[in-house]
Amino acid sequence: MKHHWWQKTVVYQIYPRSFMDANGDGIGDLQGIISKLDYLSELGIGVIWLSPVYQSPMDDNGYDISDYRAIADIFGTMDDMDMLISEARQRGIKIVMDLVVNHTSDEHAWFVEARQSKDNQYRDYYIWRDEPNELESIFSGSAWTRDEQTGQYYLHLFSRRQPDLNWENPKVHQEVFAMMNDWIDKGIGGFRMDVIDMIGKEIDRGITANGPKLHEYLHEMNRATFGDKDLLTVGETWGATPEIAELYSAPEREELSMVFQFEHITSTYPEHGEKWEAGALSVPKLKEIFEKWQGLKKGWNSLFWNNHDLPRVVSNWGNDGVYRVRSAKAFAILLHLMKGTPYIYQGEEIGMTNFPFQTVDQLNDVESLNMRNARLAKGVSEEKIMAFIRKVGRDNARTPMQWSNESQAGFTTGNPWLSVNENYHDVNVKAALADESSIFYTYKKLIALRKMNPWVVDGEFKLIATADNVFAYVRKYESKSYLVVVNLSDEENEFASGFVPRQVVIQNVERKLDDLRITLKPWEAFAVEVD
């Protein structure tokens, strides 16, 4: 089968602020990333998705961009960026940039101009109304802020410092496409497109995501920029169903390579509720969701448990106590042997965990802080709010990468911008590399398997009926079949099938697999070639 390169590789997401600090100011930076490229190449990944490093006042840690063509001082310079691209390339690694074009920073020159007067030539780059409507910001409160200068309200679906761009204005398209082409000319490997499903919004009809013009805009973007380049383009689309995902990623539509869908993530949210009230994982639901998505016909899947907005999977759905290592490997095996392009979020490969946040001064995230203010005002207790944040707050993913058991986990020689998790004494890269049974080597093996074995890339997926908390599937490729079995629970579970085991591919509990009627240990996972 003929493939795009991005169908056969694994992506590693870097949140630059928290990855590696090279100059001791407590904030991760581009030189820090460059210094760790050998580590990433040892892991075997083929792509880095770099969360935003552009110039920004950092209200939302770079997802509020004030200049798309400049690098934030705290991260380095454009020379550092060029060096990162070329140093990565020498190791066979491509750099995918975060494209944040639903909104800019309020300090972007366009917005600084736009707010000057109603007839400013940039006024129409943003969305202004005389009166606010009911729309709420995803970061709590109204989505409208009144601007003193002209008395009108501007729209911001995120923080008030992230005004939404007006995609109904063709000039906005031209500006964005020109900027994208400049980055493409630098030799990047593609774009991860922030909340891209919102650019087709029709505010007066209450439509924010999946608006009627969305796909028209993306097709136009594809044609004007990366369309003839074979780059990896992945859209962040919280509201995608498989049908919608095919609109984005069916090749003949000439839009994107793939999208991030979040149905598995939101499966724990209460109906019509939000993430703060998330409940426990239902494995039967999870199986149903993946079965549906693995059946995607005309598009391509992305596969992930973690990113910089989500709690650590090993804490949220796994067991970060006694079964930390085993459950982290179980999630890895389950995901990486499915069909699609897997994404690893920094620290996932060593089983980094959530942080035990106790007090508000330990927090940084604008989403958590705004939520806290909004709920305090409604009389919700501080205790309850902190419990929400401990469970799903975004800072859980953003604590510094744990490199070693030296001071500040080897992340910085200074004071880190967010506290290092105390478990760095045990959970760190240096220890992981020294232990051949560590989570790291399970990831390394899974990445290598994908490179070497067409069944991992192309095998047909079939879910197997099992006990509720066991997730098992078969990948069939030509005359061969591979069975993947994962016990997603703290309890033992029976597994029985008529398959005859051949060769073990990977496992997280050492045992002979000469019979496939077995009692699975808690969080036990394996893949085996079967007849």
Active site residues: 194, 236
Contact 337, 290 (CB under 8 A): no
Nearer of residues 158 and 461 to ligand TEU, judged by Cβ = 158
Q: Taking CB under 6 A as the rule, which mask of x and - marks residues 351-390 in contact with ligand TEU?
A: ----------------x-----------------------
Considering only CA atoms, which of 41, 30, 32 is closest in space to residue 92? 41
Partner whose binding site includes residue 367, from ligand TEU, Ca ion, none (CB under 5 to 8 Å by kind): ligand TEU
Distance separating alpha carbons of residues 492 and 515, to the nearest angstrom: 17
Say which amino acid occupies 352. Answer: M
Partner from ligand TEU, Ca ion, none binding residue 275, C-beta < 5-8 Å depending on class = ligand TEU
Q: Which stretch binds Ca ion (CB under 5 A): 17-25, 259-267, 340-348, 427-435?
A: 17-25
Contact map string, positions 219 to 258, toward ligand TEU, x by CB under 6 A: -----------------x-x--------------------
Among ligand TEU, Ca ion, none, what does residue 365 contact (CB within 5–8 Å per kind)? none
What is the DSSP secondary structure assignment for residue 32, as one 8-state letter?
H
Whether 241 contacts 264, CB under 8 Å: no
Among 7, 9, 18, 29, binds Ca ion (CB under 5 A): 29
- Computed on alpha carbons and rounded to an integer, the radius of gyration of the chain in Å comes to 23
- 23, 181, 362, 507: which one binds Ca ion (CB under 5 A): 23
Round to the nearest angstrom and report the end-to-end CA distance of the chain.
24
Among 11, 14, 20, 27, binds Ca ion (CB under 5 A): 27
Residue-by-residue DSSP string for 446-496: HHHHHHH-HHHHHPEEEEE---TTEEEEEEEETTEEEEEEEE-SSS-EEEE
Please work out the total of residues on this chain that contact ligand TEU, with binding judged by CB under 6 A: 14
Closest CB 238 distance from Ca ion, rounded Å? 31
Distance CA 331, CA 325 (A): 10
Strand bridging mode 525-530 / 480-487: antiparallel
- Judged by CB under 6 A, the residue of 21, 29, 194, 255 near ligand TEU is 194
The 309-348 contact track toward Ca ion, x by CB under 5 A, reads ----------------------------------------
The interface with ligand TEU within residues 285-314 (CB under 6 A) comprises 308-309
Binding partner of residue 19 among Ca ion, ligand TEU, none, CB cut-off 5 to 8 Å per kind: none
Q: Min. distance of Cβ 293 from ligand TEU in angstroms?
A: 19
Interface with ligand TEU, residue 106, by CB under 6 A: no
| Of residues 140 and 152, the one with the C-beta less far from ligand TEU | 140
Other Cβ atoms less than 10 A from the Cβ of 293: the count is 23
DSSP 8-state assignment for residue 405: S
User: Pairing between strand 67-71 and 54-55?
Assistant: antiparallel
DSSP 281-340: --HHHHHHHHHHHHT--SS-BEE-S--TTS--HHHHTS-SSTTHHHHHHHHHHHHHTSSS
Does position 83 interact with ligand TEU (CB under 6 A)? The reply is no
Decide: is 176 part of the binding site for ligand TEU (CB under 6 A). no
Q: Which residue has the tokens 């920029």?
A: 225
Q: Which parts of this chain interact with ligand TEU (CB under 6 A)?
A: 60, 63, 100, 138, 158, 194-195, 236, 238, 275, 308-309, 367, 394
Residues that bind Ca ion (CB under 5 A): 21, 23, 25, 27, 29
